[in-house]
Structure formats: structure tokens, C-alpha cells
Amino acid sequence: MERESLTEPEAATVTPLDQVLWGVLTGETALAPFARAWLALLCRMLPGAARAVLVLRQDGALAPVARWPEGDPGSAQLAHVAELALNERRGVVSRPRGRAQGHGAGHAAWTDDGRASHLAFPLIVGGEDLGVVAVECEGVTDAALRDAMRQLQWGASWIELRQRRGQAADDAIRLRQGYAALEVAATALGAERFDAAARAVATEMAVRLQASRVAVGWLVRRSIRVVGLSHTVGSGKRADATVNLAAAMEEAVDQGASLLFPVLGGEPLPSRAAHARLAGQGGGPHVLTVPLTMHGRIAGAITVERDQPMDQAAIDLVEAIVALVGPMLGQLHSGERWLSTIALHIGARIAHQLLGPEHYVLKLAVGVVVGVVGFFALLHTEYHVSAQAVVEGEVRRSIAGGLDGYIGSEHARAGQVVHQGDVLATLDDSELNLQRLRWIATRQQHQLELDRALATGTRADVNIDSAQVAEAAAEIALLDAQLSRTKILAPFDGLITNGDLSQSVGMPVQRAQVLFEIAPLDSYRVIVRVPDAEIGRVAPGHTGTLVLSALPDRHFGLHVVRVTPIAEQSDGNNTFRVEARLDETSPQLRPNMEGVAKLNAGRHLLIWAWTHHLIDAIRLGLWSWWP
């Protein structure tokens, strides 16, 4: 092939310049010399190369790092092709106008119109745009352009290889730093107290960094207190060293950044005056202070003094260790604080969140809570004493048997409404009727004898017969009275609350034995069983409301009449019997109806009404517990 006959002599010729460039390419670690050597070698391999540029990304921005020939200003078309290759993420070839199309592989007819061709290939590593290389070629065929594009692709692997090697080296450095930071953190975790952990961290860092002294400071009430030193000093110098170390740490904390002294390539700045005094003290001419952070805020600082200069690797190692041990030291310090200090810290943090920006949910929640508490703390309401209540008849009449006898019949039972004079039950009166008939016969006989004595008898006979007639009449009157008592009548209109003789017909009854109990229908009283914790708030004259279980939709007004000062046991609770009267009655009311009564006990704060039971229980418990 024609292309091979052209490239083989060139590939076989190795000039001293090529050897120098290859030496730089394989041995140089700095980016700029490597990029210049790589671009020069690449252009020497490309036929007709007139100029080239290598653009790489540095610190997030694209910038030319090498040009060939060196000092070449480039061209607008070269920059355009490079930008196009970056945007499209593929190789781009720009041919001059007037070029004829090729007629076969490896053969192209072209006319020289005085314009050059341009090639650009993006450098993509790991899916990220690392940069672009662009070359301007003069007087080349289409086949030569294709070979040049292939050379660009192969040459890009050098850039990728260097990038990956650099990344691997950086990863190895970060890995070593991570191991070192973990070992220092493990040393801190092995300590039981905060001061011991701080001293362990300082000593371990001094050994690893070959430092003359390492100090750990903690922020206490807006000032730094040195809590750990790697090397002890004499008693006379310790105070001065601690003061200078604290001043240097406060300098870094105030600026919120790591401070290095002396500044590389410059004079000491006023912002590092404390570091200059510390270095002049003799601990080490090179001082580095890195702030300790915990939960996004600065909590202290670590100062490293070393005789050797602080390179970037040492600075990165210190910052990695500080980033890891800061939260650990913070947790140990928080665990050793007094409860009052912890409460004050929590209060200050919440106040900062409430008064500062953001934290809208917390502010809304606190606002709602404050509003609710304020509402209940300012609102007054009528306090009610709730208690179980039962309705009783104001008068309850007991109806007893008037004489000894037997139940003859029953006409009413408990739960029935009766009227005055209604017969509730009767006793068996057959024996009384027989006695009455006998005495009636005896009276008639004595009356006949009295009549004969008046007609023919003496005065003594008249007196005797008269007495016998009167005796018989008295017995008859007694029997009539006893017969009237055999009918048990209702004394007034009311409801039979007790008494059922339906199963007792024929049973004997003794005189004064209670057979029925009747309560009136229009006169009631309410018995409220008030708990002993609330009885002090109830007094005669207080009003209230009664709701019965049988009539939940009705509210009956009432007023307290009497408070019985004797406690009773009801359902395991100690209660007092409070008697009240209803303000109005209803035909639906019945004795022994139960419900709940609420007695008005004066106006109080709503929050007191809701919490006084708990407060009283706590007060009583504390009083009983207190010696």
C-alpha cells in the first residue's frame, strides 16, 4: 500500500530529539513537561502537522496546557474544531473547501487551495471530559487524515494512562491517610474520658507526623482551653506554652479555616500573628492549626508544630485525622457534662434554631404549642365537679300490715303507679267475719234479755243486761276496725318502689311488717356521691346539671341543699353524700334513676381545670415521700 511505503521510513528513523521526548514522556511526573513532550511526539508522527494544542481540565476549568510548536498562538479554526469535538464527544475532521472526494481506499485526488485540514479528538476518561487535542495539518490526503485521526486515538491512551496513574496514586495517598486517621481514632476510642482521649490523639499524631509537639484545644465558653498535649513541658514553661497554643487555636477558629505558618512564598500576615509568636517560642518553626468540627460547627482545634516544612501530604493527613476524631471527641465531651449544662446547651440550640433561619417546622410546632398553652392559661371557665347521682323520692312512705294475719289477695306490685285510696292488697278476713257474726248474735240475745228485764225484771237485771249489750257492741266495733285494716290502701298518688305479694298469697303477716314502699311522683331529690378529693369545692347553694342514663337528651337543673359530713364507701372509692333538689320535674322521672351530676364549683383557669388532679396527686405523693 502507498500509505505503508510512506510511513515505514519515518517510523524507522529515531532522532535524538525523539529520544529526549520519550525520556520526558516516560519519566516526568509534572503535567506541563509531560503534556509538551506528548504533544511534540504526536505531531512528529502526524504527516503535515503544522500546529497543535492540548487542552486539559484543571480545577474544574478547561485551559491549554501545551502548544506545538511552543509559543504558537493557535488559530480560530483550530479552537472551533476543538470546541466542536468536546461538545459532540467524538472525533472531528475539518477539510478545506475545494477538496475533491476520494476515488478509492488509500487514494485521494485533491487540489491545494492554500487552506489546511483540522482534526480534533476528545479525551474522555471514565465517562468524564478530561480535555481535547486538536491538530492542524497541511497538504495531506484523505487517507493521511484517517491515519492521523487513528494516531490521535492511540496517542490519547497516554493521557488516559497518566490520568489513571495519577488517580491511583491519589487514591493510595488517601487510603494511607484514611488508615492513619482510623488508627488515631481507634486510639481515641480506647480512652474512657475526654481528657485522656485528647492526650492520646495528640501523642499519636505527634508520632505519625514526626512533630515536636501536638496540642488539642476545645472551645469552652467562646475561648479555647488546651485539653491535650503530646509532650510535657517544664512547670515554668507550661503556662506560657498553653497560652500561646490557645491563642493560635483561637486565631484559626475565628477565621474558620486551617492556618499554616510560615506562609509559603510570602511574609507572615497579620492574621497569623499568634502563630508567629508560637513559632518564636521554640516549639517548632513550622506550625499548622486545623479547626475541629462537630455537627457542622467548630468545637475546637488541633495545632501541630514541626521542625520540617509542612508539605501538602502532611496538611491533608492532619485534616483527615481532624475530620474523623472531631465528632468522637465531641461525643466524649458531651457525655461528661453536667445535666444542667446539657439542658442549657439544648435550650440554647433550640433558641438558636427558633431565632435563626430555616427550621420552619420546629418554629410552627413551637408556635402552636405556645398558642395552645397561652390559650388555656388565659381562658377562664366554669369548673364542674362530676359525680355519680341517683334520683330518690323526696318522701318515701312505708306501708305495713295493721294486724297479724294471712295475705288474702294482691292488687299492685313494685313499679306500678297508684292513686290515693287504691287497694294494694288485702288480708284474709274470714275469721274476723265469723267472730263479728258471733258477737252480733250475742248482742241480739243480750238485747232481748235487756228488754225483758225492763219489762218485768229488777233494776239489777237491767244493769247487767245493759252491760252485756255494750260489751257485745264494743267487740263488734273492734272487729269492724280490724276488718278495715285488712285492706291495704295507697296513702297518696305515687309509684310503688318496693313490694310484690304476688308470690305470697296465703303467707302469714305480722303486725307492722312492711309490705310496700311508695314514693310521690311530683317531688324528688338527687343524691350525689362526690369523691372526697372534690368535696371541699362543694357547698350548699351551688347549682349544677343532672343527666340521667335513661334520659340522656334531657338536662335537669339542680341546686345543692345539704352536704353530709360522713364518708361512705362506693365502688371502692371514698365518697360523700350530697343532697340536691331538682329545679323542675318531668313525668318521665322515676325513683332510683341513675346518671351523672355536674356541680358548679366556681370559675377557674382552663389549664387548672385540666391539670389540678395531677398536680394534687404529685403534691400529695411528694409530701408523703419527703422525710
For the entire predicted model, the pTM comes to 0.45
Please compute the mean of the pLDDT values over residues 388-399 and round it to a whole number. Answer: 80
Q: Is the pLDDT of residue 266 over 60?
A: no
Q: Give the largest Cα separation in the chain, rounded.
A: 199
Of 46-50, 57-61, 267-271, the poorest mean pLDDT is in 267-271
Listed by start position, the domains of the chain span: 2-98+112-169, 190-336, 397-517, 523-625
d(CA 285, CA 478): 138
Residue 304: pLDDT over 60: yes
pLDDT the model gives residue 6: 33
Residue 33 confidence class, pLDDT cut points 50, 70, 90: confident
What is the model's pLDDT at position 598?
92
CATH topology (fold) of 397-517? OB fold (Dihydrolipoamide Acetyltransferase, E2P) (2.40.50)
DSSP state of 107: B
Please report the pLDDT score of residue 310 as a whole number: 86
pLDDT of residue 113: 40
Encode pLDDT of 187-208 as tens digits. Answer: 888 888 888 888 988 898 988 8
Residue 387 CB coordination number (10 Å): 21
User: Cell numbers of 484, please?
Assistant: 278495715
Q: Answer whether 455's CB lies under 8 Å from 527's CB.
A: no
CATH: 3.40.50.10860, 3.30.70.270, 3.20.10.10, 3.30.450.40. Which one for 2-98+112-169? 3.30.450.40
Question: For the structural domain made of 190-336, what CATH number should be given?
Answer: 3.30.450.40
Mean pLDDT for 224-240 is: 68
Domains 2-98+112-169 and 190-336 share a fold: yes
- Among residues 228, 234, 193, which one has the least CA distance to residue 213? 228
pLDDT of 381 above 80:
yes
The listed range with the strongest mean pLDDT (97-111, 300-314, 337-351, 355-369) is 300-314
Residue 229 to residue 206: CA distance in whole angstroms: 10
Which pLDDT belongs to residue 216? 92
pLDDT bracket for residue 31 (50, 70, 90): confident
Whole-number Å distance between alpha carbons of 569 and 571: 7
CATH architecture group of domain 523-625: Beta Barrel (2.40)
pLDDT value for 545: 92
- Report the percent of the chain where pLDDT is more than 70: 88
